Amino acid sequence: MSSLTSAAGQNQPAEDLKAVVQSGRVSNNVYSNSHVGLKLKLPQNPPCDAKLNTFVNTAPPGPLGVTVLNCVHYVQGMAGMYTFTVSVEYPYPNASGTTDLLVRYKRHSLMVHNPTMHTVQTEQTRRIADRDFVEIVMSNDLRSGGQYYLVATFTQFSRYLLMFQAAAPTVDAARALLKLDGKLDLSERH
């Protein structure tokens, strides 16, 4: 009986993430996910092309999670181009500790998986939309010789680790995309 309960318990995050995938919507330039309790106004100036659930991992190895929103503004050349993503993850099964520790692990994973990625700023606490977030800033060397910058902010909400990430040709442009005050609503009731 205990092995049956254990197997069912291990499948619960995968089933929950399926509900996360099914609950996401974009309407009137707002992403909402009633299962997570998330509502977010998308970047508008310039607008981006929003795609839902572009990456889903419901089985180990790695963290169980979903990139629920991938919003890209394409332009010819790098100037003005950006990517804005939102991910919902279960922390690693054996991970414990604060959001800072989880983010440090994520930053290290980015550098291991992409050797052209460099740390610009280690974990810094930020207050965004009346919540505590941990922010990191990375740069990535492009084959063309240029760079782009990745700013990622993380917060724990309910049972999830939420990640809001922006990539742009400058740190300031990426950070501007993550100014979520007045744009982000996290609540259990949507």
Q: What is the chain's mean pLDDT, rounded? A: 85
State the Cα–Cα distance between residues 148 and 112, nearest whole angstrom: 18
Band of the pLDDT at 70, cuts 50, 70, 90? very high
Q: If DSSP codes are grouped into helix, strand and coil, which group holds residue 95?
A: coil
pLDDT at 2 (0 to 100): 32
Give tens-digit pLDDT for 105-141: 777 777 777 888 899 998 999 999 889 999 999 999 8
Q: pLDDT at position 10, please? A: 54
Residues whose CB falls within 8 Å of the CB of residue 104, separated by 6 or more in sequence, listed in order: 122, 123
d(CA 151, CA 166): 5
- pLDDT at 106 (0 to 100): 77
Q: How does residue 185 score in pLDDT terms, banded at 50, 70 and 90?
A: very high
Least confident of 79-88, 141-150, 154-163: 141-150
What pLDDT score does 108 carry? Answer: 75
In the chain, what are the domains? 2-185 (2.60.120.1690)
Whether pLDDT at 97 is above 70: no
* Res 23: pLDDT: 96
Secondary structure letter of residue 188 according to DSSP: S
Is 33 buried (19+), middle (13-18) or exposed (0-12) by CB count in 10 A? buried
Task: Report the predicted TM-score, pTM, of the whole model to 2 decimal places.
Answer: 0.85
Q: Give residue-wise pLDDT tens across range 12-48.
A: 888 999 999 999 999 999 999 999 999 999 998 788 9
